[in-house]
Structure 1
Amino acid sequence: MSRPVLAALLGLLTLLAGWSWSAAQTGAPSLTPAQEQRALAIQKNLRCPLCDTGESISDSRSDISVKMRESVREQVAAGRTDGDIYVFFSQRYGNFVLLDPPKTGRGLLLWGAPLLALALGGVFLWSFLRRTPGRAGSAAPDEAFDPFLEQVRRETRAPGDPTGGGKA
């Protein structure tokens, strides 16, 4: 073999050895493509506990998010279910860390309160619209005590009206 080819092979072997050694040092488990997708989906549903903007740990660059991503990958590689992983993080950081809070207990109030407010608003609007004046035969309470309105009614009645009034 020629020297340049030998040097290139030696360089390639050194690069591969360094890469495998660094992967072993970080402790990052190798995941199948399906496990990798699952880990990414879980990471997108977990909130960074330090970020003010509420970004997920998959988008955050904070140190704690990096450690949380590693933990998710380790737990996925260990075969834990998604629910177990979410419980693990919610026990450590509270339900705040979940971008999709559970629909039980206090979380149910978060999901149900807007629907309840919408329903109550609809009932209030319906009852308000049913009570509005203007239907045939109904007079607003203020109209009965308005002397000017009463005078206009007397003067605009037809001449043959039994209630009298009207100009001849």
Structure 2
Amino acid sequence: MVAPTDACRGKSAHIAAILRAYNHLEQMPRASNIAMLSPLLLPPIVEACLAIPTWLWIYGGIDRSIARSACEVLPRDIAKRSTKGTPCEIHAKFFEHHAPQLIDLLLRGELAAHGILDVDAIKEYAGRPFPRKDSDYLTLLELVDTEIWLQCWSTESLKRPGFPGGSNL
């Protein structure tokens, strides 16, 4: 899907956003016997959305106004909100619920062992009360992602039976 050369910048950006969604879905791991379906990205839906002039998507200063006006079954506060919001509250609750395990994973992990983490700063942060009013937990969650990735590629993990290529090491 490529925007025509004479397409408005808004329409080009709309197509780019759709392509990002497709690319994201294509990279998701899945079992080979399960079909990947994304009903909102089926060609008739995408074509209908692309036929809507871009300025109507923010009619009245409300992002996604066309979709919101079509969703009369939504609670009024959701249908009338002007921005999408973020998943930060979900991430904060996850971090708060799993903080002891996440902090322990970081303090005992490869990043700490190689001196990459500021262990004292992590310990200090772990000692603060909840709820936290900052977004530092997002950085720690990114470090947790990195730590888990590193541990998956450690020598011992690579030797696990069933790990791709593990039996050849």
Note whether the superposition's TM-score is higher than 0.5: no
Please, what TM-score do these two structures have when normalized by structure 1? 0.29
Please, what TM-score do these two structures have when normalized by structure 2? 0.29
Q: Which has the larger radius of gyration?
A: 1
